[in-house]
Amino acid sequence: MEKIRGKEHREKILQEKIRQHYEKNTILAVPKIEEREFGVGSFEKKIAKRHMYFSDEGKLNSYLKRAAPFYISYSTAYYKEPEKQPMDKKGFLGADIVYEFDSTDFVLKCRNKHDFYKCLDCGKTETGFAEKCIHCSSSRLLRYDFICPECLERVKIETYKLLDVLTNDFGISPRNFSLNYSGNRGYHIHLRDKEIFSLDENARLELLNYLALNDFDLSLGGFNFFDNRAPKPYEKSIAGKLVREAIIFLQNTKPEKLSEYTGVGLKRAKNILAKSFNLTKPLQEGRLPRIKEKDFWKNFFLSLKQDLSVNLDYQTSKDIKKLIRHPDTIHVGTMFLAKRFKNLDSFDPLTDAVAFRDREVKTEIKRMPRLFLLGNYYGPYKNKTINLPEALFLLLLSKDLVKSFEYF
Ligand SMILES: [Zn+2]
Ligand SMILES: [Zn+2]
């Protein structure tokens, strides 16, 4: 077996695999490649060099084969002369919008199962996610983060919410979206619509506020909790959508959830739901059914509003000068593909974004949580030698969790 001899050795193996991938596969370039700025990354820094430019897809692909970069990103903006610097010399023409979702934006229980960290002060290794070492409170932690079907599913739900608003509220045709897996913990939604092209940062911020429902006020939307009035469900507005969602919710929910949403006790929630028809009928007609608890409906609709709001990273979503991972290229942090796909329902990153899938590698593992890949669970393993699918070996290698290995 071949021993891993430090960081440079590790990077050399990973880069060789990346090169092989680009030698075998031609990457489909993003639209208008000649107007985009490109940037490439080192192992530590996702963008180490920028202001690069490729005149066409052929040039991009020959660069990938030659340089095999650890990360490659392109500008959401279009420029007259993308390679010029500083930024204001480029001649800004317009920009797409790319919304990013990442599983670390959510509180997820599964992270306590698959993430772990090593404390650089006391040297102990501990399972789970923590801001500080639970043994010595140090914040100098070496983190090992992983993904699983559960966290990826949570990000998918957020992506669904976004797509729903974009298609139904804004009328943007799905033809103008491009859906991408980020290659690690999330999804990127690229919007390339001519209406969006010329929006400035303020207009982009307004869009974000709309998606997050920040400026939406229940009483301005037509709810009146004193007179028990509600907007009609067919109204083409956020308020109307809330009522539609409310009807579906009340027909399907469990008492536990209603109790959580409204603050009434579990037994009371059960009683209320037992006559759900008495709730949904008035809502259909624009009335709030009488419930004796004073803030029942207000709490209920505030919780529901929270459900409908899209949880987005403001800074990156409004930024018109940012670089974002080029679709279908390798992400060295996982060795998965930042994969472009069509159907959110059927896309499964832990199968569809796996680049290296044909071989097995005998791997001496330092430590690995239980992981799901290509339809199977593996591990957990600690100081163990075992045959792994190549993709899993490369994932562990990128995280410095392999002691030695042998290809078959
Ligand atoms: Zn410690
Ligand atoms: Zn998870």
Give residue 73's pLDDT band: very low, low, confident or very high (50, 70, 90). Answer: very high
CA of 153 to the centre of ligand 2 (A): 9
Query: Which has the closest alpha carbon to 405: 393, 379, 391?
Result: 393
CA of 107 to the centre of ligand 2 (A): 10
The number of the ligand nearest the C-alpha atom of 151 reads 2
CA of 135 to the centre of ligand 1 (A): 5
CA of 381 to the centre of ligand 2 (A): 17
CA distance linking residue 187 with residue 51, whole number of Å: 25
Name residues whose C-beta falls within 8 Å of residue 236's C-beta, 6 or more positions apart in sequence: none
CA of 55 to the centre of ligand 2 (A): 40
Give residue 104's pLDDT band: very low, low, confident or very high (50, 70, 90). Answer: confident
Pick among 3.30.420.40, 3.90.920.10, 2.60.120.10, 3.40.50.300: CATH of 2-100+175-200+317-355: 3.90.920.10
Name residues whose C-beta falls within 8 Å of residue 182's C-beta, 6 or more positions apart in sequence: 100, 102, 188, 325, 331, 338
Percentage of the residues of the chain whose pLDDT score is greater than 70 = 100
Which pLDDT score is estimated for 198? 87
Query: Does the pLDDT of residue 313 top 80, yes or no?
Result: no
CA distance linking residue 213 with residue 171, whole number of Å: 18
Give me the residue spans of the domains in the chain: 2-100+175-200+317-355, 111-144, 238-308
CA of 127 to the centre of ligand 1 (A): 13
Identify how many contiguous H helices and E strands the chain contains and give both numbers: 14, 21
Query: How confident is the model over 175-191, as a mean pLDDT?
Result: 93
Phi-psi region of 141 (alpha: psi -120 to 50; beta: other; left: phi over 0): beta
Greater confidence (219 vs 382) lies with: 382
CA of 140 to the centre of ligand 1 (A): 8
A 10 A CB-CB count for 246 gives 20
What sign results for the dihedral spanned by CA atoms 63, 69, 75, 76?
Answer: positive
The number of the ligand nearest the C-alpha atom of 146 reads 2
The number of the ligand nearest the C-alpha atom of 110 reads 2
Determine which helix (DSSP H) or strand (DSSP E) holds 21, and give its type and residue range.
helix 6-24
CA distance linking residue 154 with residue 314, whole number of Å: 19
CA of 406 to the centre of ligand 2 (A): 29
Query: How confident is the model over 66-85, as a mean pLDDT?
Result: 96
Residue ranges near ligand 2 (ion) with Cβ within 5 Å: 110, 148, 150-151
CA distance linking residue 79 with residue 37, whole number of Å: 8
CA of 112 to the centre of ligand 2 (A): 8
CA of 16 to the centre of ligand 1 (A): 36
Give residue 146's pLDDT band: very low, low, confident or very high (50, 70, 90). Answer: very high
CA of 73 to the centre of ligand 2 (A): 26
CA of 122 to the centre of ligand 1 (A): 4
pLDDT tens sequence across 354-369: 999 989 999 999 999 9
Which pLDDT score is estimated for 210? 87
CA of 118 to the centre of ligand 1 (A): 8
Dihedral angle, C-alpha 221, 226, 227, 232, nearest 10 °: 30
CA of 156 to the centre of ligand 2 (A): 13
CA of 114 to the centre of ligand 2 (A): 7
Determine which helix (DSSP H) or strand (DSSP E) holds 178, and give its type and residue range.
strand 177-181
- How far CA 80 is from CA of 89, 188, 191, in Å, comes to 9, 25, 20
Give residue 197's pLDDT band: very low, low, confident or very high (50, 70, 90). Answer: confident
Give residue 314's pLDDT band: very low, low, confident or very high (50, 70, 90). Answer: confident
Query: Does the pLDDT of residue 292 top 80, yes or no?
Result: yes
Query: Does the pLDDT of residue 315 top 80, yes or no?
Result: no
CA of 134 to the centre of ligand 1 (A): 7
CA of 236 to the centre of ligand 1 (A): 55
CA of 110 to the centre of ligand 2 (A): 4
pTM: 0.88
pLDDT tens sequence across 222-244: 999 999 999 999 988 889 999 99
The DSSP code sequence of 64-84 is HHHH--SEEEEESEEESSTT-
CA of 123 to the centre of ligand 1 (A): 6
Which pLDDT score is estimated for 294? 87
Query: Does the pLDDT of residue 169 top 90, yes or no?
Result: no
Query: Does the pLDDT of residue 317 top 80, yes or no?
Result: no
Residue ranges near ligand 1 (ion) with Cβ within 5 Å: 119, 121-122, 133, 135-136, 138
What is the chain's mean pLDDT, rounded? 93
Give residue 406's pLDDT band: very low, low, confident or very high (50, 70, 90). Answer: very high
Give residue 174's pLDDT band: very low, low, confident or very high (50, 70, 90). Answer: confident
The number of the ligand nearest the C-alpha atom of 122 reads 1
Which pLDDT score is estimated for 347? 96
The number of the ligand nearest the C-alpha atom of 136 reads 1
Which pLDDT score is estimated for 160? 92
Give residue 209's pLDDT band: very low, low, confident or very high (50, 70, 90). Answer: confident
Percentage of the residues of the chain whose pLDDT score is greater than 90 = 76
CA of 131 to the centre of ligand 1 (A): 11
Give residue 303's pLDDT band: very low, low, confident or very high (50, 70, 90). Answer: very high
Give residue 105's pLDDT band: very low, low, confident or very high (50, 70, 90). Answer: confident
The number of the ligand nearest the C-alpha atom of 141 reads 1
